Structure 1
Amino acid sequence: MPVKHNNALIAGTAVLALAAPMAANADDINFDFYGSARVHAESVQPDDTSALDSYTGVRDAYSRIGFNADYALSENVELFGQLELPLDLANKAVQDPWDQDLDIRVGQIGLRGDFGTFAYGQMWMPYYNAIAYPVDMFSTYYSGFATFTSFRLGDTIAYYSPSFGGFSVAAAWSDSNGADGDDRYQLTASYSFGDTTLAAGLDDWGGDSNSRIWGVSLMHTIGDLYIGAKYEVHDSDIDSGYGADGDSAVNLYAGYTLGKNTFKLMLANVDNYGEGIVHLGVDHQLNDQLKLFAEYYYEEETAAITEKRGGLNETAWAASGGQVLAAGVRYDF
C-alpha cells in the first residue's frame, strides 16, 4: 500500500520543537546518538527462474543512524524527540532497503509523563508494536514480512497509556495513510502478567472496500526460551486477492538462548502474501556491540524475494516464491 511520507515536515517539527528548550538551557537537554550497521551476504533461489535468475550478492538488513533527545518541562512532564535515518549500505544510499523512496525511518516529537505518551510524526505504529513485533525477531532483511500491517507511518498522532495493573491501551490516527487515501486508525489493548503478554488490536485502513485488520498476539518467556505467536484476519469487502475478506496470517515463533547463541524458528502461513513460510536462524553475540548471524528463509509464494539489492518496487512477484541462505554481521554503536 502506498504510504505518504511528509519527511520535511516531520524532521523540521522535531528539530524546531527541541531547539527552543535547548537554546534556553542547553545543559538540561539530553542527547543519545546511536547507530546500527547490518549487512549480510545472500544466495537467492527463486522457484521460477524464468521470472528471476538465481543470484548471490550483498544486502543491507535495515542499518540506521539517529538520536533521541529529551527535556524536562516540569517534574512530571518530559518533551522528547527522535530522528532516525535509514542507511542502505549495500546500495551506498540514505534509504530504506525495502521502501527505497523512504529517507527517514523515524522522525517524531512528543510528551510523556504520568498520563502516558503522546507523539506526532513518523513512528513505529501501535498495531505493529502489539501484534506483529512479538514474531519479528530475525536479523536479516527477510525479517518481518509475515504480517499484513505497516511498520512505520508518517503524519501520525499516537497515544500510549500507562500500565494499570498490567493493562494498557494505545491508539493512533494517521493522515491519508489508509486505503484509497483515507485516514488510518489503530487501536490496541495489552495485558501483561508475569512472563506473559497478551494483546489485541485493530488496524482500520478504510477505503472503498472498508478494509481493516483484526489481530491478537502472545509473548511468553520460560527461562531462556521465548515464544511469540500472532493471528491476523482481514475484514473487508474484497472478494479475492490481497486483502480479501477472511484472509489470515498465522505465525508461531520460538527462540532459545544458549550462552552467546540464540536459535530461532518461525512457521507461518500468510494468505496472498507468502503463503507457507519457514524461517530459521542463529545469532552469535560476540560482544555487546557485535553480532554474527545466519538464516534460512523460504516462502511458498512471493512476498519478500526481489531482484538483486532491490526493494518493494523490485519485488519478484512472478517468481513464485523461493528460498534464501544468508549470513552477516551487525554492529551497534
Structure 2
Amino acid sequence: MNRKTLIATAVTAALAVPAYTQANDLNFDFYGSARIAVENVRPDNQDENDGGLDSYSGFRDAYSRIGFNADYPLAEGLTLIGQLELPIDIANKAVQDPWDQEQDVRVAQIGVQGDMGTLLYGQMWMPYYNAISFPVDMFSSYYSGFATFTTFREKDSISYYSPDMNGLSFAFAWSEENGLNGDDRVQLTGSYAFGDTIVSVGMDDFRGDDNTTLAGISIAHTMGDLYLGAKYERFYSDADSGYGEDGDTAMNVYAGYTMGQNTFKVMVAEVKEFGETVVHLGYDYQFNNDLKFFAEYYREQTTAAITDKREGRGVFPAEAKGGQVFTAGMRYDF
C-alpha cells in the first residue's frame, strides 16, 4: 500500500465515522502528536578528509505521527480492533520516519481482543521491544531509544499477547523475512508484575546464516515520583565480528524523577558496536495535558544516532566516531 493510498484510506475512514458508529457500533479514536526540536550536533571527528562530519545546527523531527484506533464488538468478550498510524517528518515536510526515511507507515494492524488475549497482524510494535527495551526508552527527543540491539516495529508480523494471570503474562511474535539474511524472525517474552515492579525476560531470534539470537532481561520499578528502569541484552550467534557478534551486550540504567510539572531524566548505557558508552540527560516541562517542552543532552562514544542535518539512517559517515547533541523542543498531542 503506497503513501497516497494510506492517506486516502484515513480520510475516507474519517468521513465515514458518524454513519458507521451509529449503525454498527464501530468506534474510531483519531489522534496525532507534533514533535519538533532544534538541535546543535557536534561530532567528535569533524575532519571531512578522515570521513568525519561537520558540526551543525537545525531542526529535527522527534517522531511526529497521526493516526486512529478503531474497535468493533463482535460478541460478548470479543472485539475486532485496528490501528493505522503514519509518521509526519515536520522538519523535512514529508510523510516519513525521521530515522528510517524510506518508511511511510508506523503502524498498520488489525486483530481481535478478548478474554483469551490479543491477536494482531500487520505492521506493529514488537513484543521484545515492549518488554525489554521500552522500560528505558523514556526520552522525548529524536535521540530516544537508540541504545538497544532490537527493532521497534516490523511489517508482515503476527503477535499474540496473553491476558494478565495474577501478574504473569507472555507474548509471542512471528515476523516474515524480517530476520537476518531474509529469514523469518521469532520473538518470545514473559513478564511478571508484583507491587510497583515489573520484571521481563525475552528472546529475539534473528536466525540468519549465523544463527543469531538476542536474549534480554529488564526491570521497571516505581517509587512514588521516582521511576527506575534497567535492561541487559546479549547476542548468542556464530558471528565473530560486526553486528550480532557472539557475546556483544547492551546494558542500560535509567532514572526519572517527577516534581509537579517537571521531570528530570538520566540514562547511562554501554552498547557494543552501536554507540559504546552513551550518556543521555533530559528535562521535560508539562505545560498542560496537551503541550510539553523538553531539553536534552545526548553523548555517544561511537556513531549510532548522530547523523547529517535532517537526514536519517544510513547517511552518516562511518568514521564520524560519535559526538554530542544539545536539543530542545516541544510536543503537542491532539
TM-score normalised over the length of structure 1? 0.94
Partner of 1:28: 25
Is 2:149 the counterpart of 1:148?
yes
Letter in structure 1 aligned against 2:44: D
Task: Note the aligned Cα RMSD (angstroms).
Answer: 2.0
- Aligned equivalents of 1:36 and 1:211: distance in 2? 36
- Aligned equivalents of 2:170 and 2:266: distance in 1? 29
Q: Deviations over 1:7-39 (max 9, x none)?
A: 68x969x9899x9xx869645011000000000
Contact preservation (8 Å) 2:226, 2:255 = yes
Q: Deviations over 1:193-222 (max 9, x none)?
A: 000000000000000000110000000000
- Aligned equivalents of 1:322 and 1:290: distance in 2? 30
Secondary structure of the residue that 1:251 maps to in structure 2? strand
Letter in structure 2 aligned against 1:134: P
Partner residue of 1:41 out of 38, 42, 67: 38
Contact preservation (8 Å) 2:235, 2:246 = yes
Q: Deviations over 1:105-153 (max 9, x none)?
A: 0000000000000000000000000000000000000000000000000
Secondary structure of the residue that 1:56 maps to in structure 2? strand
- Aligned equivalents of 2:164 and 2:218: distance in 1? 18
Give 1:92 shift. Answer: 0.2
Give 1:53 shift. Answer: 0.3
TM-score normalised over the length of structure 2? 0.93
Secondary structure of the residue that 1:303 maps to in structure 2? coil
Q: Tell me the number of residue pairs that the alignment of Structure 1 and Structure 2 aligns.
A: 324
Letter in structure 1 aligned against 2:284: D
- Aligned equivalents of 1:115 and 1:11: distance in 2? 31
Summarize the alignment of residues 270-309 of structure 1 with structure 2, pairs less than 5 Å apart.
Answer: 270-309=271-310
Contact preservation (8 Å) 1:305, 1:316 = no
Residues 1:112 and 1:42: Cα distance change in structure 2 (over 3 Å): same
Partner of 1:104: 105
- Aligned equivalents of 2:240 and 2:24: distance in 1? 59
Is 2:170 the counterpart of 1:169?
yes
**Unaligned 5+ runs, structure 1:** 1-5
Partner of 1:3: none
- Aligned equivalents of 1:257 and 1:315: distance in 2? 35
Give 1:155 shift. Answer: 0.2
Summarize the alignment of residues 263-274 of structure 1 with structure 2, pairs less than 5 Å apart.
Answer: 263-274=264-275
Partner of 1:88: 89
Contact preservation (8 Å) 1:11, 1:107 = no
Give 1:235 shift. Answer: 0.6
Partner of 1:200: 201
Contact preservation (8 Å) 2:20, 2:26 = no
Partner of 2:250: 249
Is 2:224 the counterpart of 1:223?
yes
How much identity, in percent, do the aligned residues show? 63
- Aligned equivalents of 1:65 and 1:151: distance in 2? 18
Give 1:97 shift. Answer: 0.3
Residues 1:24 and 1:219: Cα distance change in structure 2 (over 3 Å): closer
- Aligned equivalents of 2:296 and 2:2: distance in 1? 33
Secondary structure of the residue that 1:133 maps to in structure 2? helix
- Aligned equivalents of 1:30 and 1:283: distance in 2? 33
Letter in structure 2 aligned against 1:191: Y
